[in-house]
Amino acid sequence: MKLGLYGGTFDPVHLGHLLVAQAACEEFGLDRLCFIPAAQSPFKPGSEPASAKVRLQMLRLALAGQPRYEVDAQELTRGGVSYTVDTVRDYRRRLPDAQLFWLIGADHVTKLPLWRDAEELAASVEFLVIPRPGEPSVPFPAPFRGAMLKGFPLGVSSSQIRARVKAGLPVDLLTGPAVAEALRANRLYL
């Protein structure tokens, strides 16, 4: 089985995330793709994302009716700082024969050697890189391996969506109507 693992805060999840998931599945023949919301990103130590409950709700709304995708809340359940290697170890234990792919933003490629237990991580997964529109691709530092996604680069980010909500601007076309309604109902990012 080819399994995609897509970690992040998803604060909020948006159509760019969904397009990346679709591109990864199509380009690399993934059988399944798991969205794994982080409890706390090691790369954003000062940030306080929306509550785990609300981020899970938004992910489930965004992925409703998509049988290839699922939400894995293990990092939220574990709590504390979310390290990729801990999650990968869990998947290796449960699915030892699966070929694992971890989706990352292009801005993280050069930082991979700084990730916790980097050598183990490099041996355990292939990385699928999400390009940033207008930015050149960078090579993987040794011993990491992977490929750049080709499809659907969308210049939208969760921080842009939070800023639009705070400014009173619509986000329905960026998040999908169900997630936009959840943002309004939970009065997030105001």
Helix (H, G, I), strand (E, B) or coil at 9: coil
Domain span including residue 102: 2-185
- CATH number of the domain within which 108 lies: 3.40.50.620
Q: What is the pLDDT of residue 152?
A: 65
* Phi, psi values for residue 52, rounded to 5°: -60, -40
In a domain, 98, yes or no: yes
**End-to-end Cα spacing for the chain:** 42
* Residue 76 forms part of a structural domain: yes
| Domain presence at residue 190 | no
pLDDT at residue number 135? 80
Sheet holding 69-71, edge to edge: 69-71, 32-37, 2-8, 99-105, 126-130, 146-148
Looking at residue 170, what is its pLDDT?
87
Query: Does residue 15 sit within a domain?
Result: yes
pTM of the predicted protein model: 0.87
Helix/strand/coil for 88:
helix
What is the Cα–Cα distance from 140 to 190, expressed in whole angstroms?
39
Q: CB–CB of 124/88 below 8 Å? A: yes
The pLDDT of residue 42 is 86
**75 domain-assigned:** yes
Tokens 């709700």, residue located: 57
Tokens encoding 122 = 């490099």
Task: List average pLDDT for each run of 10 residues in the chain, which is 190 residues long.
Answer: 97 92 94 96 82 96 95 96 97 98 94 97 96 85 95 78 92 89 91
Q: For residue 153, what pLDDT is reported? A: 62
Cα radius of gyration rounded to whole Å, the chain: 16
User: How much is the pLDDT for 173?
Assistant: 84
Structurally, how many domains does the chain consist of? 1
Other C-beta atoms within 10 Å of 42: how many?
14
